[in-house]
Structure 1
Amino acid sequence: MIQFSLQGPIYRTVMASGQRDLFIDMHTQYFTRVFTEWRSFEVIWPQPPAIEQLEKIAVPTLFMYGTVEWDDMHLIAQEFKRIPRVAFVEIAGADHMLPLTHPQEMASHIQSFLAATEDES
């Protein structure tokens, strides 16, 4: 199951990066916990569903995603456009693990976002 998951298209960039071994270790630990410690758990969904309440988010929000991602991420980004003060950053070549493969670029975008929201205050 772990090997199958690691071959997923959303991990293409991290699996070709210098963070490959770290990611494999993280992923293996996660799956081990899922199938041993977390044998069953109850998911408690907020009511009303959180996706229906995005307009209520009043704080500035940064949504970052890579170009090597599930198609669903673009659909999720469309939903997040309902947040009044949302900014989007698409990072070329990044996959689902962009904090591992693009940390400096992410940090730069976060710093710019924080500076811009501070200027708004």
Structure 2
Amino acid sequence: MSALAATLAEPLYHGYSGTEGVTGFPNVGTYLIFGVVLVPIYVMVISWFVSEPRDTKTGLLGVSYLIGIAAQMWIGMFILTVIIGVLFFGGLPEPLGSHGPTDSIPIFGFLF
């Protein structure tokens, strides 16, 4: 990598390396979110089906809305993560790409 490329890359890379295996689904934050933060949502969904008066059709509609909203957020954030990884960190994020950033700088590749 030339000196000019290294100088241009410094504001983007900041010298940080990849997370080396800690990215992915089962981390501490995942357990905290699904095990603690979402408890009110679990109670709400269960109450749709076990409480009185019961309306299964409305309960299933609510569950489908929750699944749709969650899928929209997860898929959107996945796409955004891939775009940010390619533009600012030189490659696909884990587990799609290799561990850590690559030596190429795609955002400044047209200069060299």
Give the TM interval when normalised to the shorter protein: under 0.3
Indicate the structure with greater strand content: 1
**Higher helix proportion, which one?**
2
Q: Which has the higher contact order (CA 8 A, sep 6+)?
A: 2
Question: Which structure's CA Rg is the greater one?
Answer: 2
TM-score if structure 2 supplies the norm length? 0.25
With the length of structure 1 as denominator, give the TM-score of the two structures: 0.24
